[in-house]
Amino acid sequence: MSAESSSSGGLTEYIVHHLTHNVVQVGGHSLHLDSWVVALVVGLLGCFLLWTQARKATAGVPSKPQAFVEMVVEFVDSQVKDTFHGDRRFIAPLALTIFVWVFFMNAMDLLPLDLVSAGVQNIAGAETAHHTYMRMVPTADVNTTFAMSITVFLLIIFYSIKAKGGWGFTKELFTAPFHAHGTVAKIILALPNLFLNLVEYLSKPVSLGMRLFGNMYAGELVFMLIAGLFASWVTFVPGVIFNSVWAIFHILIILLQAFIFMVLTVVYLAMAHEHH
């Protein structure tokens, strides 16, 4: 019984340690330094990789990396073309940026869970590693996903006002989806319309942020459970097998979540851009 409690306590401590962010105080507010740094690094890495292939692009037979990048760009552009029927000069690069950036951030979940701890332990010792926190998956941090979804929400408001005008956008908040004829009917339905529109608008960033966060957090937690349960040398081989199987399945989740975030962003912007 005591052995089970000790094992359970060790697993709990292991998971809690890996779920703790590296927090710094900036201007009296807490900043998750690990999420910010990793998101910035993988974002710059994605830009660099795309830039290098664009710089080496040739009109002849493309290299394999160039062909892969062209395939990704054409895939994203076709998705935007099918959904957004206005000027795509900003929307298509935005969609490509979202897809590549979210994919790279999600892909950090495939790195060995204790990679950072092992590096710190080899350099500074086990005690320092025990007190060093570093979460490698920015999209498993709700602050990251909501920062992106709120940015999309602001773009939705911008495109709504751009397409309908300030007065048209405000009027639509009070007159749709329930249309009415007559002044009295319009006044009666104004508040229900406003309430429904506010719910619709606010649900978009919430669903975008929570969907990505929930899937990536759950995937990260499963990796931690597998690593904690198979931490001893006796269960090392089964642990590697279980982690490998989950990683292969998780690749689909990583790609799918990046695709869903990109597509929903384009759909929301297309809805905002179209006149009611």
DSSP-assigned letter for residue 90? T
CA dihedral 94, 95, 98, 103 (to 10 degrees): -150
**Residue in the block written with tokens 């319309």:** 193
Cα–Cα distance measured from residue 49 to residue 57, given in angstroms and rounded to the nearest whole number: 12
Evaluated on CA atoms 201, 271, 46, 224, the torsion sign reads positive
Q: Which of these is catalytic: 30, 63, 207, 244?
A: 207
Nearest to 104 by CA among 45, 21, 30, 156: 45
Residue 4 has what pLDDT?
41
Cα(148)–Cα(142) distance, integer angstroms: 10
- What's the alpha-carbon Rg for the chain, to the nearest Å? 23
Q: Residue 125 region, left (φ>0) first, then alpha (ψ -120 to 50), else beta?
A: left
Q: Quick one: residue 86, left, alpha or beta (phi over 0 = left, psi -120 to 50 = alpha)?
A: beta
- Choosing from 117, 149, 160, 215, the catalytic residue is 215
Domain map (residue ranges) of the chain: 58-113+138-273
Residue 24, helix vs strand vs coil = strand
Distance from C-alpha of 219 to C-alpha of 250, rounded to nearest angstrom: 7
Quote the tokens at residue 73.
Answer: 């760009």
Residue 243 among the catalytic residues: no
Task: Report residues of the chain scoring pLDDT below 70.
Answer: 1-9, 230-236, 239, 275-276
Tokens of 192: 């229900």
How high is the pLDDT of residue 128?
Answer: 77
Residue 26, classed as helix, strand or coil, is strand
Return the ∠ at Cα 211 (arms to 95 and 46), rounded to 5°.
Answer: 35
Residue 236 confidence (pLDDT): 62
pLDDT at 242: 78
DSSP for 213-240?
HHHHHHHHHHHHHHHHHT-SSTTHHHHH
Residue 131: CA atoms inside 13 Å, Cβ hemisphere, count? 4
> Catalytic: 215?
yes
88 catalytic? Reply is no
Helix pair 236-273, 183-229: axis angle to 10 deg: 160
pLDDT at 1: 36
User: What confidence score (pLDDT) does residue 2 get?
Assistant: 35
